[in-house]
Structure 1
């Protein structure tokens, strides 16, 4: 969708619930790039914490990976000038929230693009599964087999089907000379733990762990450094009044927005917020339904990637996901979303 941007010229703030985007397969391919918030990053702009040597080590590991990935894509010379395709390599950046994993992943993407080693792809784990769903498994392999690297941010396994799908997809790509770089908060051999019967597809998980060299990155969440706790939310009236004064803003009721998210596939959320400058939401409250919560996580990820501030009334945004949910299998996903919601809320105060 390339629809009109939200406008306040009529005196009425636009609403996300009035937008009904569609996404073509061509757009899904065009979106295989780092998000806007990481459009200008590089290894040189990464600022390792002096007290966390693993961060400097991670930069060197990623730079070495780029060198190896380019060599693998180029292949090995044989007789008569032909080249033999070499299997790709893998690097897996594991660490807590906010230690700069995505920064390093995007830097890897840009380093290989700048080296003219071949096309590169960047996607979240969810976007990669969506791509396979849209194009089909075999077609997705053909689509990505010419890439020098596929970068996968926030590698997560939410169900056995995705585990099998992505494991086989990555194995096929590596065989064709594509290298894989990934980030996650969970080590490859632990993927799936606490969510479902991991032993039912242990072979697939083992295959994934064999592809990657794991690089551990330690450190506190930079989004929380020098930040106060979640701010006291403004009133509904304040949120509405502020929204009226911001060009390109949207204003929605929390329940209505959550219901609207259910009407479309998460692959459309990027198009849903296209052109939005700031998101205003009234009536936020804790969520009890897992499906609603996971859709909100997907929207939060897209808002964070785009750097769109949030101003919300009702409950504090660090209370949206219930204690019961935080104790379940999607705990890391909800904690990441909470971290990002708080960062976007503080951005909305500036």
Structure 2
């Protein structure tokens, strides 16, 4: 196995990241997981069948203990997950937890359609057949459907010898807090404490806010210079990643965020507001991103009234969710929508857009 600490120090030496004392303090815990996996063979996957049959629930003796890394937003947890997956020399997958659970729910639906009595087992077995290390980013449980199956899903994965490393903004005891039928979820918290080492990344520095809010975040007019400035911010936030299209599921349908990387999303105005999207879609978007970059917001008027209404709804959603906004636009917020139906109501949106430019605004502020 490689070491996360070696990759981290290499990134520091290359000037790609700045050394953070809190991040340095958790590197030994990440290295420990990889060292434990290297020191022990992969467990006999047949042991999982004992769990299915209700015979014991202890992990295989050779299973390495996983890690639950929690702390505030922007502390570098996602970056550390990237390094963890890169350092691993066993089959590993690094995936956003919400995306993973969407895949699991889709697999459960297929199992139901086949008539499987135990729908969790085949889905978990399929995952375990492909990976030995699962690196989850941003574990959060807000959906009752996820809450009701995640405990058994994890138990089967662990019994199959899959090692789980995950990040979260919450201490385990705050997962699914105030959720419906939460008492049924509590055994999963116990499972986390038993099978995963819980470590806090306690840093006073919000690296994402430092990058995005340390300078200009609203660029006008939306010309080539604005585009270059937006590209530079994107490269800084994502470590130079191009980003991939992100499909966001909403009530049995989906829409696509054109670019997503390291908790940041990027889209043109028309991709988000020129399509028939509504409040549910924008709320789902806020659960996916911490920073949203919108390119080329036009002047708004009666000629694009429907798009303007969607833009207002979008800004309301990201404002309430404290998603950091970086945008290029035809003009300053107060000058975007000066006449026509809806211009008076837009004054509140303009005020929010102005507030959101403040350096201290956003999640974790």
Q: TM-score, normalised by structure 2?
A: 0.56
Give the conservation status (yes or no) of the 8 Å contact 1:230–1:318: no
Q: What number of residue pairs does the alignment pair up?
A: 251
Secondary structure of 1:180 counterpart = strand
Distance 1:151 1:56 in 2: 19
Shift of 1:160: 2.7
Give the conservation status (yes or no) of the 8 Å contact 1:49–1:55: no
**Matching of residues 105-120 of structure 1 within 5 Å:** 105-112=81-88, 115=89, 118-120=90-92
**Matching of residues 1-350 of structure 1 within 5 Å:** 42-45=7-10, 47=12, 53-75=21-43, 86-112=62-88, 115=89, 118-136=90-108, 137-146=120-129, 147-217=131-201, 218-225=203-210, 227-228=213-214, 231-232=217-218, 234=220, 238=222, 265-266=253-254, 269=256, 279-281=267-269, 291-297=280-286, 300=289, 310-312=295-297, 320-321=316-317, 326=320, 334-335=321-322, 338-339=323-324, 341-342=325-326, 345=327
- Any gaps of 5 or more consecutive residues in structure 2? 1-5, 45-59, 109-119, 231-247, 301-310, 329-365
Shift of 1:111: 0.9
> How has the CA–CA distance of structure 1 residues 316 and 88 changed in structure 2, closer, same or farther, with 3 Å as cutoff?
farther
Superposed CA offset, 1:293-328 (max 9, x none): 332225647x97xxx7744468799954377xx4xx
Shift of 1:43: 2.6
- What is the match of residue 112 of structure 2? none
Please identify runs of 4+ aligned residues in structure 1 that moved more than 6 A: 314-318
> How has the CA–CA distance of structure 1 residues 186 and 262 changed in structure 2, closer, same or farther, with 3 Å as cutoff?
closer
Flag the structure with more relative contact order, 1 or 2, with Cα contacts below 8 A and sequence separation at least 6.
1
- Any gaps of 5 or more consecutive residues in structure 1? 1-40, 77-83, 247-259, 327-333
Larger radius of gyration: 2
> How has the CA–CA distance of structure 1 residues 309 and 89 changed in structure 2, closer, same or farther, with 3 Å as cutoff?
farther
- What is the match of residue 22 of structure 1? none
Superposed CA offset, 1:51-99 (max 9, x none): x6332111121111111133344359xxxxxxx8723421011111111
> How has the CA–CA distance of structure 1 residues 104 and 318 changed in structure 2, closer, same or farther, with 3 Å as cutoff?
farther
Superposed CA offset, 1:270-293 (max 9, x none): 6x659xx96321697xxxx86233
